[in-house]
Amino acid sequence: MKQILQNIANGETTVVDVPCPSNKKDSLLIASRNSLVSAGTERMLIDFGKANYIDKARQQPDKVKMVLNKVKTDGLLPTIEAVRSKLSQPIPLGYCNVGVVLESGVEGFVEGDRVVSNGNHAEVVCVPKNLCVKVPDGVDDESAAFTVLAAVGLQGIRLVKPTLGETIVVSGLGLVGLLTVQLLIANGCRVLGVDSDSSRCAMAGQFGAEIVDLSKGMDPIVVAQDFSRGRGVDAVIVAAATNSDEVMHQAAQMCRKRGRVVLVGVVGLNLRRDDFFKKEISFCISASYGPGRYDSNYEDKGQDYPFGFVRWTEQRNFEAVLDMMADGRLDVNFLISHRFSIGEAEKAYKVVTGIEPSLGIILDYPECKASSVSKRVEFSPVRQHDVPSGLDKCGVSFVGAGNYATAVLIPAFKDTGVRLHCVASSGGVSGVYAGRKFGFAETSTDTDALFSEKETNAVVISTRHDSHAHFVLKALETGKHIFVEKPLCLTLEELSLIEREYFERCGHNSSSLLLMVGFNRRFSPQVQKMKELLDGVTGPKSLVMTVNAGMITEDHWTQDRGVGGGRVVGEACHFIDLLRFLVGFSISGWQKSVMDTPTGDTLSIQLSFEDGSLGTVHYFANGSKSFPKERLEIFTSGRVLQLDNFRKLTGFGWPNFSKMNLWRQDKGQKTCASAFVKAIEQGAEAPIPLAEVFEVSRVAIEVAQI
């Protein structure tokens, strides 16, 4: 299927063939009929993409600070690589879609229903149920495509809380502004529209608004004073898109005492205190199209807000807009300036960037059925006789193509010289990006089918943590070698299932089917040097691992025990494994001390080992990002080893060793991947003993549960 993607590194917008997404629980699979280009938002993305690095940095100073901190801790070259990797990933455009349901996993929706959603510009989209609404019979597809943008304006109106007869200014008469004008007039308000485009001012006038045409030298403050009969307007809705602070200054100047200003657009926000202080003006920013926006529980998990307490959610705002279209109070036909087919999208975006005047740009899609769309896209079919015979056991496929996979894991496996067969992703876009960039033969959204392919001998699992156990079991069932990015699983029940399945199929012959977790730190060259030095010392050791993990908000997926498993299972398992590797003996016991915080991710884990060694993992989320993330100290036999952030290793009291410094940070990812591939090629044992994988996984889960 075709989908519109944008490269934020250079602003290039292209129509790309991507595999059709698979439907998900509590979601709808929708065949698009029309979508609307949101000229303001999408043009800003294009302009950002076309900007050079300096201008990009000026627009996002908070990101610059993050980059500078990463340079201090990780070094210049890894930071440059990370920034380039992030910027090179394409993003899907569009969020105003109308189409027909192909598959429904939602009560109340059936195949064939016409629905509005915030789906992207793509022939088929998968959208959660709370972001979908049925289209009334009296509303045509092109009109329905304006629903989401109209809901943006409607939410701004709800924040203003206008009453019958109030005077409201709409500053900025783009699509959202003109829709807002109509909605306000339908609400019984007197409306004053402000813009510098004469044609848009004229259109607002046709809807019943008074106008201020800035291109003709009209003063909005003077006109607003006259419009409000000398009292000042009751409220201003700012729907403009500009870097200037003047729009907000004018908005405050137009308001009466205790007036209201609501921002639904994007403008400069260097507010002047006196503007708002003297009149006690209320100011707020509208969060897109209503309550529920950016709440993963509402949008992704389908948890609706109680109707009696939250009357208007984003979904119910969609319904209200469609009701107004159905009875004729909202007419969007006048707003359509251009129509293009999805195949002509590149022409459409040239119009968006200003080669000619435009307003509402509608994209049309060919009719499609579920059976006619493919969940697979081939890049360069690999013929078996083209594959070097020495690599017959190394046809590698990836499940998951997120940031870590594309920035670290896939490049590490590619460097080993393996045959990259398929990369699977749920939505299709990240898989297409990874497939083209790294030379996979194909990409797919049919993940389960990947495990049955003969060309795939080994599967790398790099999806969200809650899916790891499922995919590991699937790979075991189909006899694929497995490399799973940590953690192995989230619960003791899942761990027991994996252990039982593995030993039933392989017994204790771990070379017949490799199961390896990406505990890469033990493969770091400096850690390998530490292991070499420690193996020459008898007696127990004391190890202190300090991790300056940094704060992650409560609503981040990794904090969700059911999805990410929490930070102990999801990340601290790395450091439990590292200490287990360096000591060389099993963990005999553990204790945990946790700081009383909402997330509970500032803690210390005390480990006891069978040889009498002691290990402590300080996993702290309350430190500064400018401080190095990881430090390891080992005390033994009158000697000390100190490793700072996998760049600087210092020995104290060691004969013939004082330091081992690296130009760039090396956490062992490439060596880890290489060891896994080499073991497959040679039919050798797994690089990490399976008993240690299960042991570390069990301890991490137990620590997290208490």
Co-location of 199 and 242 in the same domain? yes
3-state SS string for 255-308: EEEEEEEEECCECCCCCCHHHHHCCCCEEEECCCCCCCCCCHHHHCCCCCCCCC
**Angle, helix 39-50 to helix 175-186, in steps of 10 degrees:** 160
> DSSP labels for 180-248?
HHHHHHHTT-EEEEEES-HHHHHHHHHHT-EEEEGGGT--HHHHHHHHTTTS-EEEEEE--B-S-SHHH
C-alpha 542/C-alpha 300 separation (Å) is 45
State both tokens at 332: 């969007």
Co-location of 352 and 501 in the same domain? no
Q: What is the pLDDT of residues 258-307, one digit of tens each?
A: 999 999 999 999 999 999 998 999 999 998 899 999 898 899 889 999 99
Please say which residue of 285, 307, 341 terminates a domain. Answer: 285
C-alpha 600/C-alpha 594 separation (Å) is 6
Q: Is 612 helix (H, G, I), strand (E, B) or coil?
A: coil
The answer, yes or no, to whether the previous bond of 628 is cis (omega within 30 of 0) is no
Please say which residue of 228, 262, 285 terminates a domain. Answer: 285
317 occurs within a structural domain: no
Co-location of 535 and 679 in the same domain? yes
C-alpha 627/C-alpha 620 separation (Å) is 12
**Angle, helix 690-705 to helix 573-583, in steps of 10 degrees:** 130
If you count DSSP H runs as helices and E runs as strands, how many of each does the chain have, helices first?
Answer: 25, 31
Co-location of 600 and 671 in the same domain? yes
294 occurs within a structural domain: no
For residue 23, what is the domain's CATH number? 3.90.180.10
Range of the domain at 208: 150-285
Nearest to 479 by CA among 497, 500, 458, 460: 458
State both tokens at 167: 């005077």
C-alpha 493/C-alpha 117 separation (Å) is 38
Question: What residue type is 581 in one-letter code?
Answer: F
72 occurs within a structural domain: yes
Question: What residue type is 103 in one-letter code?
Answer: E
670 occurs within a structural domain: yes
Q: What is the pLDDT of residues 132-144, one digit of tens each?
A: 999 999 999 999 9
State both tokens at 529: 């040097």
Nearest to 517 by CA among 466, 480, 462: 462
26 in Cβ contact with 301 (< 8 Å): yes
State residue 40's pLDDT score: 76
Number of domains in the chain: 4
State residue 41's pLDDT score: 78
402 in Cβ contact with 430 (< 8 Å): yes
State residue 431's pLDDT score: 93
Positions in the chain short of pLDDT 50: 382-391
For residue 502, what is the domain's CATH number? 3.40.50.720
C-alpha 388/C-alpha 222 separation (Å) is 78
Co-location of 451 and 546 in the same domain? no
For residue 695, what is the domain's CATH number? 3.30.360.10
101 in Cβ contact with 118 (< 8 Å): no
Co-location of 171 and 228 in the same domain? yes
645 occurs within a structural domain: yes
Using a 10 angstrom Cβ sphere, with 0-12 exposed, 13-18 middle and 19 or more buried, the burial of residue 145 is: buried
Q: Is 508 helix (H, G, I), strand (E, B) or coil?
A: coil
Co-location of 388 and 456 in the same domain? yes
Co-location of 543 and 686 in the same domain? yes
Q: Is 672 helix (H, G, I), strand (E, B) or coil?
A: helix
C-alpha 362/C-alpha 340 separation (Å) is 6
339 occurs within a structural domain: yes
State both tokens at 493: 């029940």
Question: What residue type is 590 in one-letter code?
Answer: W
State residue 599's pLDDT score: 87
Co-location of 174 and 278 in the same domain? yes
340 in Cβ contact with 363 (< 8 Å): yes
Co-location of 105 and 200 in the same domain? no
What's the order of all strands across the beta sheet hosting 419-424? 376-378, 442-444, 419-424, 395-399, 458-461, 481-484, 515-517
Please say which residue of 517, 549, 578 terminates a domain. Answer: 517
Co-location of 604 and 663 in the same domain? yes
444 occurs within a structural domain: yes
C-alpha 383/C-alpha 272 separation (Å) is 67
C-alpha 152/C-alpha 693 separation (Å) is 50
212 bridge partner residues = 194
323 occurs within a structural domain: no
Co-location of 553 and 530 in the same domain? yes
212 in the Ramachandran plot: left (φ > 0), alpha (ψ -120 to 50) or beta?
beta
C-alpha 382/C-alpha 391 separation (Å) is 13
C-alpha 562/C-alpha 117 separation (Å) is 27
